[in-house]
C-alpha cells in the first residue's frame, strides 16, 4: 500500500514552509530533535518503538495530485509552495535510537538534520508514530518482565482505533510479546497470530458440549477451549470429556484468577490432563500479571492495558529545533526560553555507560553546536547509542520490514537486561539511570 | 482509498467461522449487541462516534486475493472457509444509536442481525472504531461545555497514532470542536483546518521580529502570532509593532494561563489592539478550559487530552451474542453466565423519556426475544432512539460522508442540550439519567 502520508501532519507545518520560502529562510540547514522531557507515568525506562514505521512513512511522504489539490482548494499555501511540495522528497539526515532500545528523559530519540522546510514537515508524523508506539512498547516491556518468562499475547485490537491496533501489535511484539490476535499485524509485519473462540461461539450452540465438539472437529484437540461461559468447573470437565486429556489448553476470562486458576489446575490434573495448559485473559495489566506469578498459569492474553499504554497512552515526546545555520553558514544553537518548557539547544551525541559488571549506570548526552561539534568533547567510555537511519535521503538498511522488527525485538531483549534491577520496579519513581549532560 | 478492512480483526473470529461452517451452525440467524457496561471514567454521559466510519469500513470488509493468500499461507482457516470468505459481503441488518447521540450504561449502540458468521466477523472492527472514536467524542463534549461557547480546535495529532489522529479530529468535530490541525482530516472529512506557526519558526529566524515579519508577509495581518518563545510581553509588543493593531490573534503556549492571559489582554488593549484575539494551547483539558472561563481567552487549542479521551482512551464497549435462532428457526435469548460479566440477552428497543420541560429523565430499554419481540411491549412515550443503519446489506442514507458528519454534529448539539444539568458536572459520578430495563 503506497498511500501518501504527506497530509498526516498539522496545518501549521505547511504555513511555516510557506512563510519561510517567501522569507528566504526555508533552506537554512537545521537540526530538529525528538525527545521526551520526562518518562510519562513515572516509568523507570522508556522503550523506543515506531522507528521502522517512521522510516516507511517517510518513503511515502510525497505530495501527489490528491494532496496538492486539497491544499490548493483550501488555500493552505500559495502556488510557489505547491510547486515546492510537488517536488518534495526528504533528502536530509536522520540519526536516532535504534528501535527496541531503552531511553530516558532528554534522550534524543530522533535527530533530523535537513533544511528547515524539510525538517519541519516531518514533525507531526514522527511524533504521532513514536509517541504512540513507544507508549505501547514501554507498557508491554513491563508486562513481559511481570510474566517472568511465560508467553504473552496481545489481544487489545478492539480497545484502540483499528489502524493503531496494527501498530500496537507490532510495538508489543518488539517489547517481547509472543503473538497477537490481530490478523493485519500478521499480514503486514509477519507477527505470529493466535486465537480460537469467544463466548459467542459457545452461546451459538445448543450446549457447551456441542460448541466444544464443533471447535475440536475444526481445530483439533490441541486447540484452546474457553471454559467460563457457564460454570468453570463444569466447563473444564466437559472440555476434557470432548477433547480428551490431550487438550491443548483451557482459557479463563473471568473470576478471581489466582483462586480460579489454582482450582482449574487441580481439576485438570485430577482428570488426567496434566499437559493441558491454562491461559488467562481477564483485563490483565503488568500488576495483575505479576500477581499471578505464583499461579499455575501457562500464558497470558493482554488486551486493553497494553494497547492504551497501561495508563500512559502517549509518551509526551516533543520535536524541537535545536540548532540552525545563519546566513553565513555558521551553526547557531537555539532554544525556547519559556520557563516551563526549556529545551537544551544544539546537536547531541549519546553514550550509555556501564559498570564493571556490565550494568548500565548513566545516559551521557554530549552537547555540541553543529553536526560534528557534538562528538568532539565526547569520551569513548560506554556504547555509542545513536545510529544513522537516513543519510542524504537514503534509508539505512536493517531498520524496516520483518528484519527490522526481528532485530528490534532482539535488541530490546538485550538492552533491557543491561539495566539495573530498579528498572524492573512497577512502582512510580525516578528513571533507572540518570541522564547526564556533558 | 478502497483498502480492504477485512483483516482489521482478531484471529479467533476467523476460526469461529471455520468451526461453525464445519458444524453447520454458521448460518444460524443471530443477534449481536455492542454496548458499554458502564461509562468509563465515571462520566455522566457518553457520546456515540464512529458510526459513519464503521459503515464505510463495512463497505470495504471484503476478502481479496491479498487477504485470502495470507489466511491460506498461515493456515488460519481451511479451504472451504476460504471459499466462503471470498464471497463474503455483509447482507444482514444493523440498527444503532445515530452518531452524535448520547448514550448510557447498557445502551445497545449497535445491534447486528445476521447469520452468526456474518455477525461475528464484524466484532473487532466495530469495537475498535466505536470504542476509540466515542472515547474522544465523550471527552471533547465535556471540553465544549467547559469552553462556554468559545471555539475549540483539536491539535492532538502528534499525541496519538497517525491514522487515529484523523479519526480523533472527526470525533472531536462531531462533539462540537470547530476545527482541527490535521490536514488529512480536512481532506477526508471536510473538517476546517487551522494553524500558523510553531516555536521552531521563530527560532529559525535571527530575531522574533524577523520571524513575525516573515509570517505576516506570507499569511497577512489577520494571522496568529506565537508570542511566548522568549518573553511574552516583549513578544506581544513586537507582534503589534510588526502587524499593527489589526493583528488577528496572539497564541500563548506556556505559563500560568489565567495570570498571563489577563496581562496580555491589558497589554494588547493598551497598545490599541483591542480586536486582537487571544488563543491558548498549553496542555489544556476540560478542567483547565473551565478554569479559564472568566479569563479573556477567545479560543482554545486542545491537544493531548482530547485525542486520548482525557484519561479514558477507550470506552470499554463489548460486542456480545444476545439471541440466535435454533434449528427450528425459533429465537433463543442467550447470555453468558460468568458472575462478573453478566449480559442481558435478547434484542432490545430503546426509548428516551422526557419530563414536561423536555429534559431527559430515563433511557428505557425494552427487552424482547426476537427482532420484533422487543417493540411489542414498548409504550410510545418519549423518543425512539435506534435507527436503521444497514438493512439487508444496504447502507441506509444519511450516516456517512460529509453529510453524515454534519448531521451527527447537529444531532449532538441538540441531544446534549436535552440532558439534565447534572450531565455537565465534571466530577466523577452516576450517569445523568438512569437506564431502566422494561
Residues 398-427 of B with CB under 8 A from A: none
DSSP string, B237-293: HHHHHHH-TT--EEEE-SS-HHHHHHHHHHHHHHTT-TT-EEEE-SS--HHHHHHTT
> Is the CB of residue A38 less than 8 Å away from at least one CB of chain B?
no
* Rounded Cα gap, residues B251 and B229, in angstroms: 10
User: Residue B337 — very low, low, confident or very high, per pLDDT cuts 50/70/90?
Assistant: low
Chain A residues in contact with B335 by the CB 8 A cut-off are 203
Mean pLDDT of chain B: 94
Counts for chain A of helices (H) and strands (E), in that order: 16, 19
Contact criterion met (CB below 8 Å) for B77 and B15: yes
Min Cα distance A200 → chain B (Å) is: 5
pLDDT over 70 at B343, yes or no: no
Our measurement of the distance from residue A272's CA atom to the centroid of its chain's CA atoms, rounded to an integer in Å, reads 42
Q: And the C-alpha cell for B395?
A: 447502507
Give per-residue pLDDT as tens, B243-288: 999 999 999 999 999 999 999 999 999 999 999 999 999 889 999 9
Q: Across the strands, what pairs with B365?
A: B350, B437
Query: CB–CB of B34/B110 below 8 Å?
Result: yes
What's the whole-number mean pLDDT along residues B351-364?
Answer: 96
Question: Would the CB atoms of B203 and A335 count as touching at under 8 Å?
Answer: yes
Residue B12 contacts A, CB cutoff 8 Å: yes
Rounded to the nearest integer, the mean pLDDT of chain A is: 94
Give chain B positions within 8 Å (CB) of A312.
none
d(CA A211, CA A268): 19
Q: What is the pLDDT of residue A335?
A: 81
In chain A, residues with a C-beta closer than 8 Å to the C-beta of B324 are 203-204
The residue in chain A having the minimum alpha-carbon distance to the alpha carbon of residue B183 is A7
Q: How far apart are CA A201 and CA A300, in angstroms?
A: 21
Cross-chain Cβ contact A162/B196 below 8 Å: no
Instruction: Find the mean pLDDT for residues A235-262.
Output: 96
Tell whether the model's pLDDT for residue A371 goes beyond 60: no
Largest CA distance in chain B: 83
Q: What proportion of chain A, given as a percentage, has pLDDT over 70?
A: 94
Question: Is the model's pLDDT at B346 over the cut of 50?
Answer: yes
pLDDT of residue B370 exceeding 50: no
Residue B16 CA: distances (Å) to CA of A155, A235, B22, B179: 16, 18, 10, 42
Alpha-helical segments (H) within B78-182: 79-86, 116-121, 123-146, 162-174
Choose among A128, A210, A340: nearest Cβ to B165: A128
pLDDT band (50, 70, 90) for residue A374: very low
Contacts of A334 (CB under 8 A, 6+ apart): A321, A322, A323, A324, A345, B203, B204
Q: Cα distance from B380 to chain A (closest Cα, Å)?
A: 32
Band of pLDDT at residue A438, cut at 50, 70 and 90: confident
The residues, ordered by sequence, that sit 6+ positions from B391 with a Cβ below 8 Å of its Cβ are B93
CA distance A158 to A305: 12
Percent pLDDT > 90 in chain B is 89
pLDDT at A17: 98
The DSSP call for residue B25 is -
Contact A18 B213 (CB under 8 A): no
The arithmetic mean of pLDDT across residues B191-209, rounded, is 96
Q: Dump pLDDT digits (tens) for A401-423.
A: 999 999 999 999 999 999 999 99
**A312-318: average pLDDT:** 94
Q: pLDDT value at position A211?
A: 98
**B375 has pLDDT over 60:** no
Q: pLDDT-derived band of residue A377, with 50, 70 and 90 as boundaries?
A: very low
d(CA A207, CA A212): 9
Q: Do B161 and A316 lie within an 8 Å CB cutoff? A: no
Bridging pattern class, strands B277-280 and A317-325: unpaired
DSSP string, A203-218: HHSSSHHHHHHHHHHH
Task: Output the pTM of the full model.
Answer: 0.96
Region B289-312 average pLDDT: 95
* Domains of chain B as residue ranges with CATH: 11-136+313-437 (3.20.140.10), 140-307 (3.20.20.70)
| Average pLDDT over every residue of A237-252 | 98
Contact B322, B373 (CB under 8 A): no
Could you read off the pLDDT of B158-198 as tens digits, one per residue? 999 999 999 999 999 999 999 999 999 999 999 999 999 99
Q: Is B59 exposed, middle or buried (0-12, 13-18, 19+ CB in 10 A)?
A: middle
pLDDT surpasses 90 at A1: no
SS3 content of chain A, % helix, strand, coil (to 5): 40, 20, 40
The model's pLDDT over B71-103, given as tens digits with 9 standing for 90+, comes to: 999 999 999 999 999 999 999 999 999 999 999
Interchain proximity A314–B14, CB inside 8 Å? no
- Res. B352: pLDDT tops 70: yes
Q: Name the residue of chain B whose CA is nearest to A210's CA.
A: B23
The H or E element that residue B301 is part of is strand B299-302
CB A216 within 8 A of CB B23: no
Nearest Cα to Cα of residue A365 among A90, A24, A111: A111
CA torsion, points B111, B116, B119, B121, in degrees to nearest 10?
150
Taking Cα atoms as reference points, which of B154, B178, B150 lies closest to residue B167?
B154
Amino acid at each position: 500500500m503506497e498511500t501518501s502520508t504527506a497530509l498526516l501532519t498539522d496545518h501549521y507545518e505547511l504555513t511555516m514552509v510557506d512563510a519561510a520560502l517567501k522569507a528566504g529562510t526555508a533552506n537554512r540547514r537545521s537540526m530538529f530533535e525528538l525527545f521526551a522531557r520526562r518518562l510519562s507515568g513515572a516509568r523507570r525506562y522508556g522503550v523506543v518503538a515506531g522507528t521502522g514505521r517512521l522510516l516507511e512513512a517517510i518513503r511515502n511522504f510525497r505530495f501527489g495530485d490528491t494532496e496538492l489539490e486539497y491544499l490548493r482548494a483550501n488555500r493552505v499555501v500559495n502556488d510557489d509552495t505547491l510547486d515546492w511540495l510537488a517536488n518534495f522528497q526528504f533528502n536530509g539526515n536522520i540519526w536516532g535510537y535504534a528501535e527496541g532500545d531503552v531511553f530516558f528523559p532528554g534522550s534524543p530519540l530522533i535527530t533530523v538534520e535537513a533544511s528547515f522546510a524539510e525538517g519541519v514537515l516531518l514533525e507531526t508524523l514522527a511524533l504521532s508514530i513514536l509517541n504512540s508506539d513507544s507508549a505501547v512498547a514501554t507498557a508491554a516491556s513491563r508486562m513481559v518482565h511481570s510474566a517472568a518468562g511465560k508467553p504473552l499475547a496481545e489481544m487489545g485490537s478492539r480497545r484502540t482505533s483499528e489502524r493503531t491496533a496494527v501498530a500496537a501489535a507490532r510495538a508489543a511484539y518488539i517489547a517481547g510479546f509472543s503473538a497477537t490476535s490481530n490478523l493485519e499485524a500478521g499480514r503486514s509485519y509477519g507477527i505470529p497470530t493466535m486465537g480460537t473462540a469467544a463466548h459467542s461461539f459457545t452461546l451459538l450452540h445448543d450446549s457447551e458440549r456441542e460448541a466444544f465438539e464443533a471447535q475440536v472437529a475444526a481445530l483439533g484437540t490441541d486447540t484452546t477451549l474457553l471454559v467460563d461461559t457457564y460454570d468453570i468447573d463444569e466447563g473444564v470437565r466437559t472440555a476434557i470429556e470432548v477433547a480428551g486429556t490431550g487438550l491443548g489448553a483451557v482459557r479463563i476470562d473471568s473470576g478471581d484468577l489466582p483462586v480460579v486458576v489454582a482450582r482449574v489446575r487441580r481439576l485438570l490434573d485430577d482428570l488426567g490432563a496434566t499437559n493441558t495448559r491454562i491461559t488467562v485473559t481477564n483485563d490483565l495489566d503488568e500488576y495483575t500479571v505479576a500477581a499471578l506469578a505464583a499461579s499455575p498459569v501457562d500464558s497470558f492474553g493482554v488486551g486493553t492495558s497494553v494497547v492504551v499504554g497501561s495508563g500512559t497512552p502517549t509518551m509526551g515526546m516533543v520535536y524541537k529545533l535545536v540548532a540552525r545555520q545563519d546566513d553565513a553558514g555558521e551553526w547557531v544553537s537555539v532554544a525556547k526560553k519559556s520557563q516551563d518548557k526549556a529545551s537544551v539547544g544544539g546537536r547531541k551525541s549519546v553514550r550509555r555507560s556501564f559498570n564493571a559488571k556490565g550494568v548500565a549506570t548513566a545516559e551521557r548526552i554530549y552537547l555540541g553546536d553543529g553536526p560534528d561539534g557534538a562528538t568532539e568533547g565526547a569520551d569513548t567510555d560506554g556504547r555509542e547509542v545513536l545510529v544513522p537511519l537516513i543519510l542524504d535521503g537514503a534509508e539505512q538498511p536493517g531498520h524496516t520490514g520483518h528484519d527490522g522488527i526481528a532485530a528490534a525485538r532482539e535488541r530490546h531483549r538485550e538492552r533491557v537486561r543491561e539495566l539495573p534491577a530498579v528498572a524492573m520496579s512497577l512502582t512510580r519513581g525516578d528513571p533507572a539511570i540518570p541522564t547526564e549532560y556533558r
